[in-house]
Amino acid sequence: MKCPFCNAEDTSVVDSRISEEGSRVRRRRRCLTCDKRFTTYETVELRLPQVVKQDGNRSEFNRNKLLTGFMRALHKRPVPTEYVDAAIDRIVQKILSLGEREIPSRKIGEMVMRELYKLDKVAYIRFSSVYKSFQDADDFQDAIMEVQGPQRKKLEKKS
């Protein structure tokens, strides 16, 4: 590790500590040339897979695109940001756990739909309408019936 003050290559680690969340290591270093101290942080670098689009093009996985999709679907819906962040974290963890070098965008879209279904039914229908390319009102009606299915059965039993 080069010293940020004098660019010398000889530095030594004085102290190492693991962060509270356990995801990074903080190292206190001392330059053997100029005797100044500095801190470095060591973190795990996880490589997310390439996203394979419908047309066959590939692109880097982009967490911000996920967030944008969620925010569009959840526009003016009463869902806290923490829930959205947690949903995105779950999707990223699922993608990482697959251990694949590539993932179809379709699979990511399905993961988003499952998370939106749990968060907000209106957002789920909004996202579905774009994702599944709804063509007419019947497509919306089918999606609404899908969402209301479990609730409708409960109501019918009570009657």
Run means of pLDDT, 10 residues per run, the chain, 159 residues: 94 91 90 96 85 93 92 91 93 92 92 91 81 67 72 49
Q: Where does residue 45 rank: exposed (0-12), middle (13-18), buried (19+ CB within 10 A)?
A: exposed
pLDDT of residue 21: 76
pLDDT of residue 159: 44
* Angle subtended at Cα 37 by Cα 31 and Cα 38, rounded to the nearest 5 degrees: 105
pLDDT of residue 43: 83
pLDDT of residue 150: 58
* Distance separating the N- and C-terminal Cα atoms of the chain: 73
pLDDT of residue 155: 44
Which H or E run includes 147? helix 137-158
pTM of the model: 0.61
